[in-house]
Homo-oligomer: A and B are copies of this chain.
Amino acid sequence: MPSSTVEQYIKIIYTQQEHLGRSVVPMKRLSEAMGVTPGTATTMVKHLDDVKLVSYHPRQGVLLTTKGENLALRMLRRHRLIETFLEQVLGYDWSEVHTDAERLEHAVSDRFIDKLEQYLGYPDVDPHGDPIPSSSGSIESAISVPLNACGADRRVRIVRLLDDDPEFLVCMKSYLIFPGQEFILKNSSAITGTVTLEHSDTLKPVTIGYDAAGRILVSER
């Protein structure tokens, strides 16, 4: 049975691998994401390689094995089902769910997660639009593009937000930017570095920065 520390490393390696596109995750990246010193990450990664959860390429980086990927998906499943529960059932704000899920994910049993999933009615995404892996480990994300890579005058539907920062989330919610909401993309200017949207119901205009828009995934329609 993996310790919560191991679980956390594996989950972070997965998300970093996904985020980097490239396959190997360098130690600096990993240590920063884990909040530990680089030396600590190196030591741990060697151990993870020993137990076949990752393959370690000295001086280059680390890569999940299939076994590691399975564990990562199980952790993501736990994390996202718990977040969904906290928001939909216990009434947390979506900016608060992440912190608590971060601890709970390491304390729940498989029985708990399977019953929770059933109780929630088999949701396929969490409050941030992150897809929830099935118990068999399959995961499918809706097709989407970053908001800053979208053509102007398009009608878009918010699909997912790639940021856990509570401040960011509170702010987005106040603009009605959360999964399911629809907007018209009025203007997207690489020169000024802004993206302007108009909510399809309220018609309220919102302007956000280019990099923030990069963390918002939408589907064009």
> Which residues on A are within 8 Å of B, measured CB to CB?
86, 89-92, 96, 99-100, 103-104, 106-109, 111-112, 115-116, 119
Contact = CB atoms under 8 A, between A and B. Distances in A.
A103 B106 CA distance: 9
Going nearest first, the 10 A-B pairs with the smallest beta carbon separation are A107-B107, A90-B115, A103-B107, A104-B107, A100-B109, A100-B112, A90-B119, A91-B115, A90-B116, A89-B119
Contacts of A112: 86, 90, 100, 104
Contacts of A106: 107
Number of copies: 2
Contacts of A108: 100, 103-104
Nearest to A89: B119
A106 B4 CA distance: 13
A89 B119 CA distance: 8
A104 B85 CA distance: 15
8 contacts: A86-B112, A89-B119, A90-B119, A92-B111, A100-B108, A100-B109, A100-B111, A104-B112
Given A92-B115, A104-B107, A104-B112, 11 more contacts: A89-B119, A90-B112, A90-B116, A91-B119, A92-B111, A96-B111, A100-B108, A100-B111, A100-B112, A103-B107, A104-B108
A116 B100 CA distance: 13
A69 B99 CA distance: 28
Contacts of A115: 90-92
Contacts of A86: 112
A135 to B, nearest CB: 15
Residue of A99, A103, A116 with highest tally of chain B CB at under 10 A: A103
Contacts of A119: 89-91
A155 to B, nearest CB: 37
Nearest to A91: B115
Nearest to A104: B107
Nearest to A106: B107
Nearest to A102: B107
Contacts of A92: 111, 115
Nearest to A105: B107
